[in-house]
Amino acid sequence: MTVLSHADTPIGLLQSVFGFVGFLANQEKVCDAAIEGRDLLLVMPTGAGKSLCYQLPAIARGGTALVISPLISLMEDQAAKLAALGLRVARIHSGLDRGAARQACVEYLEGALQFLFVAPERLRVPGFPEMLAKRKLALIAIDEAHCISQWGHDFRPDYRMLGQYLPGLRNSPDPPPVIALTATATPTVQADILAQLGMANSLKFIHGFRRKNLAIEVVEVAVPARASAICHLLASSARRPAIVYATSRKQSESLAAELSLIVRAAAYHAGLDAETRTRVQKAFQAGELEVVVATIAFGMGIDKADIRTVIHAGLPATLEGYYQEIGRAGRDGALSRTFLMHSYADQRTHNFFLNRDYPPVEHLNKVFAALGEDPRPAAELWSESKLDEEEFDKALEKLEIHGGARVDFGGAATKGAAGWKKTYTIQAQYRAEQFERVLRFTRSSTCRMSALVRHFGDVNDANQPCGICDICDPAGAVLRQFRRATPTERRIVQAIVDRLRPVSYMATGTLQRSLELVDGMSRGDFDGLLDAIVRAGLIEIEEAEFEKNGEILRFRKVLITEIGLEVRPATPLPLLIGDGIADEFEAGSKALPRQKKATTSARIASQKPGGMETNPEPADPASEVLVALLREWRTAEAKRLGVPAFVVLHDRTLQAVARARPANGAQLLEIDGIGPAKAERFGVAILKLCAVSSS
């Protein structure tokens, strides 16, 4: 029996090669299994050390590890870190010239590499898999493995094809192990990954979906008000660095432009050239940029531990994608916040993208009918289909994925199997269901982190509330505003509890219709009141469904708890009701005036005992004159710059200036909200107005 020296053991390699004192939770047993040659699926959250689980075993096994990675940024980041450790690494992807790719192949065949990173589409290049098969690999690592599954949130057709190439790369008596890694995969996706890769006897390591330092807020914000809210959130240096996820390239550009007026920010999306994307990524990594406003592609491969905030400026398509994106915050273990903004408009946007990405079956039928046994160029098929270019591309892509077409590397297509229609229809329905789960997450009255943990199949851990999300700690929420219940609402709560006592449960709609006290209350206000009662522990709300005439209908059922059974009119209750976003975050929005139309209950809560609403303006006449002058100047300046008024000067800062009446630059800088950059840009004009109003 060979006895390994300490330097050759997993812990020895961890210390001597990677410079770590010890393994993180769950890493060691994964590494041991891979070193032994076992195939395995590893599902571990972002920042928990997945990459080491293939890198260390690769070094321990000797030879070259093949790493298949879906994004150039991810590949470049990991390759650079390994090279910095003195390891021999090469990459092959579309961002490199042919000379670099050829040199990488030469070094691979000479046995000079420890790691070779390739994009999945590279395996479709004629002769490339055969070249790889000339040497025995140490192991095969498939990063972001959820991309393989048609049920995954970031499905890639080229990833789906990986399974057909693996047998040729493992054709030896002692085949290299396959390690599939992902930060996000539901039980359905996990099963599909293993099936597609032919890993029937593999080990599964599913660990740690709970992130204890992420405070999640989910709040309804109208689309026009989101830029204002995001700028306010990120104006505080304590909330930076930050990533803002936009729903489109256009939104990414516009948000980045507004943020650039107050912080160092830039846009990142697939429409930018590779050089610009690389520059933005490196600047953010180095701390030269504080905020990146990006589409979904940004963040994969970003190993930045101190990201304090992740903001979604619209609803994501899947909970898996959302979980992965918020997981990029707080990798250093410090408290970090995530904000998910949504409104009904997001549903319309999603439906547009769903219809675009999953075209009608009729479109696929037209392309399928034009296919034959002999290869036909895509341009010829497009012309015959009578579809526009984007419709044709999507139809052919879906046919290939579902086996209805075979497309060679040159783009010519032949007819595939006729059974594509069934699987395509199922997948389109599944995509719609994924977004429905996102909507249910926004409406949920349970702990945000627990809901995510439960989604990924960890039912036992899902029973523990996080204590820091907007549901668990409403008083600690930053963006979402809560208020105390009015006496009328307290009476409604008692009526709800009394109505639920004699029954096992009631549907939310039935419950509302059965109560005279809520006559005239909107469904949204009623649901908000129910959420408050859930937070108080008096009731529970569960998602349920039933079948009627062959259609699945979903509803929310309300159940009373043991605590709720004990509630009487005199029982003190800490009822906090969600009331949208705080006024300070809405200020400056062109579409939503500061005095927005409020619900009846919100108006009651905002009034003083005499029925007069609060007035934040300065009380003395001289200050009011200066406020008016400053507002007039601010409006003109904002129009000139093409930005919301708050970017020039926030209401609270404007009023502070009016009260302080600074006479020089030093006094101006003492005012909260006036920093050196703002003083340099607007100081002369502000001081002039202060002097005029004093004369």
DSSP 90-147: EEESTTS-HHHHHHHHHHHHTT--SEEEE-GGGGGSTTHHHHHTTS-EEEEEESSGGG
**pLDDT digits 0-9 by tens, 144-193:** 898 888 776 667 777 878 888 999 999 888 899 999 998 878 888 888 99
Which band of pLDDT confidence, cut at 50, 70 and 90, is reported for residue 213? very high
pLDDT above 70: residue 582: no
Which band of pLDDT confidence, cut at 50, 70 and 90, is reported for residue 600? very low
Which band of pLDDT confidence, cut at 50, 70 and 90, is reported for residue 299? low
Residue 115, CA distances (Å) to 65, 105, 118 in order = 5, 12, 10
Choose the weakest-confidence range: 286-295, 297-306, 429-438.
297-306
pLDDT above 60: residue 691: yes
**pLDDT digits 0-9 by tens, 541-552:** 888 887 777 677
Q: State the Cα–Cα distance between residues 597 and 560, nearest whole angstrom.
A: 33
Stretch 498-519: mean pLDDT: 90
**pLDDT digits 0-9 by tens, 393-405:** 889 988 988 889 9
> What pLDDT shows up at residue 620?
62
| For helices 420-443 and 361-370, angle between their N-to-C axes, nearest 10 degrees | 150
Q: State the Cα–Cα distance between residues 102 and 90, nearest whole angstrom.
A: 11
364 sits in which H/E element: helix 361-370
Q: State the Cα–Cα distance between residues 258 and 689, nearest whole angstrom.
A: 25
First-last CA distance in the chain? 95
Answer whether 455's CB lies under 8 Å from 448's CB. Answer: no
Main-chain phi, psi angles of 369, to 5 degrees: -65, -30
**pLDDT digits 0-9 by tens, 260-288:** 999 999 999 888 887 888 899 889 989 99
> What pLDDT shows up at residue 364?
93
pLDDT above 60: residue 354: yes
> What pLDDT shows up at residue 146?
87
Stretch 586-604: mean pLDDT: 35
> What pLDDT shows up at residue 300?
52
Peptide bond into 377 cis (omega under 30): no
> What pLDDT shows up at residue 210?
86
**Strands laid side by side in the 506-507 sheet:** 506-507, 551-560, 539-548
pLDDT above 50: residue 602: no
Answer whether 507's CB lies under 8 Å from 554's CB. Answer: no
> What pLDDT shows up at residue 669?
79
540 sits in which H/E element: strand 539-548
Which band of pLDDT confidence, cut at 50, 70 and 90, is reported for residue 664? confident
Stretch 577-586: mean pLDDT: 66
Main-chain phi, psi angles of 672, to 5 degrees: -60, 125
Stretch 420-449: mean pLDDT: 88
pLDDT above 90: residue 352: no
The type of residue at 458 is D
Highest mean pLDDT among 639-643, 653-657, 686-690: 686-690
Stretch 526-535: mean pLDDT: 86
**Strands laid side by side in the 203-206 sheet:** 89-92, 115-118, 64-68, 137-142, 178-182, 40-43, 203-206
**pLDDT digits 0-9 by tens, 227-263:** 999 999 999 999 999 999 998 899 999 999 999 999 9
Q: How many CB atoms lie within 10 A of CB 400?
A: 18
Residue 610, CA distances (Å) to 483, 604, 607 in order = 19, 11, 8
> What pLDDT shows up at residue 188?
84
Which of 442, 448, 447 has the alpha carbon at shortest distance from 342?
A: 442
> What pLDDT shows up at residue 27?
92
The mean predicted confidence, pLDDT, of the chain is 84
> What pLDDT shows up at residue 676?
64
Which of 605, 558, 598 has the alpha carbon at shortest distance from 577?
A: 605
pLDDT above 70: residue 7: no
pLDDT above 80: residue 29: yes
> What pLDDT shows up at residue 596?
34
Percent of the chain with pLDDT over 70: 89
Q: Which domains does the chain have, with CATH numbers?
A: 6-206 (3.40.50.300), 214-350+444-463 (3.40.50.300), 358-432 (1.10.10), 481-585 (1.10.10.10), 621-694 (1.10.150.80)
Percent of the chain with pLDDT over 90: 37
**Regarding predicted confidence, which is higher, 151 or 607?**
151
> What pLDDT shows up at residue 333?
87
pLDDT above 80: residue 601: no
pTM of the model: 0.65
pLDDT above 80: residue 420: yes
> What pLDDT shows up at residue 648?
77
Q: Positive or negative CA dihedral for 189, 304, 68, 65? A: negative
> What pLDDT shows up at residue 481?
80
> What pLDDT shows up at residue 75?
86
Stretch 618-623: mean pLDDT: 61
Question: What is the number of alpha carbons within 13 Å of residue 358 lying toward its C-beta?
Answer: 16
> What pLDDT shows up at residue 257?
94
pLDDT above 70: residue 14: yes
pLDDT above 50: residue 216: yes
Q: State the Cα–Cα distance between residues 223 and 395, nearest whole angstrom.
A: 32
The type of residue at 472 is C
DSSP 657-690: HHHH---SHHHHHTSTT--HHHHHHHHHHHHHHH
